[in-house]
Amino acid sequence: MTFFALLLFFSLQAQQPEPEEDFVPVPVEEVLSKGLEIPGVRFVYSVSLPSNIDASGYALNPPSSANLWATDTLQFFIDAKALQDSIYKHHNVLGEIQSFLFDETISEEGLQAYFDNLLRNELYIIEEAQVSEDVNVGELIILGNKIPFKPFYRLKIQILTDIRMIILISFLTFFVLAAIVLVIVIFIIKTNKRNKDILVMRFKDLCYEPLSNLLFEKSLEDIQNMSKGDIAGILPKNLMHKPLFKDVLIQEIISLNKNMKGDFKLKLKLVYRKLDLDKHTIKKLSSKRWDIITTGIVEINEMDVVEAEAKVAQFINHENFYIRSNAVATLLNISSDSDLKVLADQKYPLSKWQQMIYYRIIRYTKNNRNVSFLLESENESVRVFGVKLIRYLGLVDQLEFLNNYYPQAGDPEKIEILRCFNMFGFVESLDVIYADLKSENKDLVKEAVSLIQNIGDKISLVALFELSQVTEDFDIKKAAMKAIYTLNKIVFEEYFGESADDWERKICLHLNDPVLTNV
């Protein structure tokens, strides 16, 4: 409170009205004709004289054209005036006095305004004696009292104070508003969350008894013959229309479905459909929140809502990672597409996370695993994943294709293909592989060495030895030496047994260490 009182005090200070009558205007002619100088103001007198008159005696400069004679710039008005009077007296020509303010001509009004300004800002002070000789001293004092005392720098400080005031007030307001908004938001969120948690807990407790009843007391046919009303009758009344209750119920059904086997699964799915929960699930797909859409997709996946396939398909290239990944996973799971086309059409690169999910689905649910579309995909990460699948799932019939494809494959694909060859000990000709020993890509070289280590022959030893001598990379050298060691220990001893090279000696020791061979 005191703070705001202070603020008020300050703002009153700042708003104190500016006195208007802070100077007495004085006509500029009056000052000039007294022979006083006004800073910055100069005068030029010019006159047109008949050509026969030589006016150089008058301190006038000879004319350059049109017989116009003019003075230099003069500091005092009265000098110009005197010259004008003198010319008029002798030649009967008046001429003109022009005023200049900092070398620019200025009109009479302009001059007056400028002078007023000087007076107002106390840059020009008319001395007592000069104002008027006949004003008496008493009046002057009264006049003086009308001008408030105001030192020069005081003005600036007032402005600065004002800026600071403005900043302080504006950011106080901002802070108070922001804090209030934050507190309200947090409070609302927290209350909502707590209320929701309590409700969810209650709903969960309410679910389990009816679900247990349905699962253990009723056979599949019983449930088949029940209507929606019958089943809803077992569940708590008045809750079936609540979306949150439906969500909880779906969650519980899904969780049971994951953990149960046999006809329990069928029963759960039947209950799910009989209660029209599938419609609730599909509705989620049109939500604006990504997590609700994703929840819907996950539910479709878990409960095999095949009729929603087309709707899920529109999300497979969605920009949101979770929507996209779950949509693809769902389609892999529920659609009849055994060619994994949905994967082949992926526009975004496949992350490892997605590969993990898709691999599990393909491994556990797909009987027909045709990866050929993946290998022809335009998306490199999909092709790489296709090669991985060949290795993980043991699809040996594709090795021939990989063999033909290898020379034109990119490095990430080559690495996977080599791993694949390594796994199955398959390769038609090592020549292409030798070529890759010269690659700049360290991982590719290491993978090639590892393959050669497993299926190499006598010629390989030469290639590996060459690599071990050429390479400047420790890991590659180690891999190459290990490969030689594995292929032929006698040759290895011949090559490296007496080596003086520091790295080679260390690697020899490493390879000969019995503890390390286990690792």
Partner 1 sequence: MYSLLFEILIEILGILFLLYSFFIIVSYLIMTVLSALEMRDHLRKNKFADYLDVVTSPVSPSISIIAPAYNEGLNIVQNAKSLMTLHYSKFEVIIVNDGSKDDSVEKMIESFDLVKTDFAFNPSIDCKPIRAIYKSTNRSFSKLTFVDKENGGKADALNAGINVSTMDVIACIDVDCILSSGSLTRMVRPFMEETNRKVIAVGGVIGVANNCEVKDGTVTDYRVPDSLLGKFQVIEYFRSFLMGRMAWTRINGLMLISGAFGFFNREIVLKVGGYFPQTVGEDMELIVRMRRYMEEEKVPYKVGFVPDPLCWTEVPESEEILSRQRNRWMRGTIETLQLHKKIGMNPKYGILGMISFPFWSIYEKNAPIMETIGVIYTLAMIITGDFSAIYLVALFVLIYFFSVLISSFSILYEQMAYNNYKNKKDLRSLLKIVLLEPFIIHPRVVWWGLKGHWDFLKGKGGWGIMIRSGFKKAVDKQEVGVTQN
Partner 2 sequence: MKNVLIIEDDKLISSLVRFRLNKDGYNVTTVDDGLKGMDAIDNTSPDLIITDVMIPFKNGIEIINYSKKVNPNVPIIVLSSLGEEESTVMEAFSLGASDFVPKPFNPNELAIRVQRLINN
Binding site for partner 1 (CB under 8 A): 3, 6, 153, 156-157, 160-161, 163-164, 167-168, 171-172, 174-175, 178-179, 182, 186, 189-190, 193, 290-291, 294-295, 298, 321-322, 326, 348-357, 359-360, 388, 392, 474-475, 478, 503, 506-507, 509-510, 512-513, 515-516, 518-519
Among 56, 191, 212, 219, binds partner 2 (CB under 8 A): 212
Q: Between residues 137 and 163, which has the closer beta carbon with respect to partner 1?
A: 163
Q: What residues contact 427, with CB distance under 8 A and at least 6 apart?
A: 403, 421, 433, 451, 455
Q: Which 8-state DSSP code applies to residue 285? A: G
Q: Between residues 23 and 392, which has the closer beta carbon with respect to partner 1?
A: 392
Closest separation in Å from C-beta 153 to partner 1: 5
Interface with partner 2 in residues 235-254 (CB under 8 A) = 252
Q: Between residues 84 and 301, which has the closer beta carbon with respect to partner 1?
A: 301
| Interaction between residue 208 and partner 2 (CB under 8 A) | yes
Q: Between residues 256 and 293, which has the closer beta carbon with respect to partner 2?
A: 256
Q: Between residues 207 and 312, which has the closer beta carbon with respect to partner 2?
A: 207
Closest separation in Å from C-beta 181 to partner 1: 9
| Interaction between residue 264 and partner 2 (CB under 8 A) | yes
Closest separation in Å from C-beta 507 to partner 1: 5
- Three-state DSSP at 305 gives coil
Q: What residues contact 222, with CB distance under 8 A and at least 6 apart?
A: none
Closest separation in Å from C-beta 108 to partner 1: 38
| Interaction between residue 255 and partner 2 (CB under 8 A) | yes
Burial (CB count within 10 angstroms: exposed 0-12, middle 13-18, buried 19+), residue 401 = middle
| Interaction between residue 262 and partner 2 (CB under 8 A) | yes
| Interaction between residue 258 and partner 2 (CB under 8 A) | yes
CB 40 within 8 A of CB 49: no
Distance of alpha carbon 24 from alpha carbon 116, whole angstroms: 9
Q: What does the block give as tokens for 32?
A: 């000039």
CB 275 within 8 A of CB 231: yes
| Interaction between residue 356 and partner 2 (CB under 8 A) | no
Q: Between residues 100 and 322, which has the closer beta carbon with respect to partner 1?
A: 322
Beta strands, E only, 16-82: 41-48, 68-70
CB under 5 to 8 A by kind: which of partner 1, partner 2, none does 102 bind? none
- Residue with tokens 């990944």, as numbered in its chain: 325
Distance of alpha carbon 313 from alpha carbon 297, whole angstroms: 10
CB under 5 to 8 A by kind: which of partner 1, partner 2, none does 509 bind? partner 1
Give the sheet arrangement for strand 96-101, strand by strand: 68-70, 41-48, 96-101, 104-106
| Interaction between residue 489 and partner 2 (CB under 8 A) | no
Sign of the CA dihedral with 55 first, then 59, 62, and 66 last: negative
| Interaction between residue 334 and partner 2 (CB under 8 A) | no
CB under 5 to 8 A by kind: which of partner 2, partner 1, none does 149 bind? none
Contact segment (CB under 8 A) with partner 2 among 41-49, 201-209, 224-232, 286-294 equals 201-209
Burial (CB count within 10 angstroms: exposed 0-12, middle 13-18, buried 19+), residue 332 = buried
Q: Between residues 425 and 514, which has the closer beta carbon with respect to partner 1?
A: 514
Cα-Cα end-to-end distance for the chain: 74
Q: How many other C-beta atoms can be found within 10 angstroms of the C-beta atom of residue 128?
A: 12
| Interaction between residue 10 and partner 2 (CB under 8 A) | no
Q: Between residues 212 and 314, which has the closer beta carbon with respect to partner 2?
A: 212
Please work out the total of residues on this chain that contact partner 2, with binding judged by CB under 8 A: 18
Q: Between residues 100 and 290, which has the closer beta carbon with respect to partner 1?
A: 290
- Three-state DSSP at 47 gives strand
Q: Which 8-state DSSP code applies to residue 406? A: G
Distance of alpha carbon 140 from alpha carbon 128, whole angstroms: 8
CB under 5 to 8 A by kind: which of partner 2, partner 1, none does 175 bind? partner 1
CB under 5 to 8 A by kind: which of partner 2, partner 1, none does 261 bind? partner 2
Sign of the CA dihedral with 85 first, then 86, 89, and 93 last: negative
CB 482 within 8 A of CB 452: no
Q: How many other C-beta atoms can be found within 10 angstroms of the C-beta atom of residue 423?
A: 16
| Interaction between residue 392 and partner 2 (CB under 8 A) | no
Distance of alpha carbon 202 from alpha carbon 198, whole angstroms: 6
| Interaction between residue 304 and partner 2 (CB under 8 A) | no
For binding to partner 2 (CB under 8 A), which residues are involved?
204, 207-209, 211-212, 215-216, 252, 255-256, 258-262, 264-265
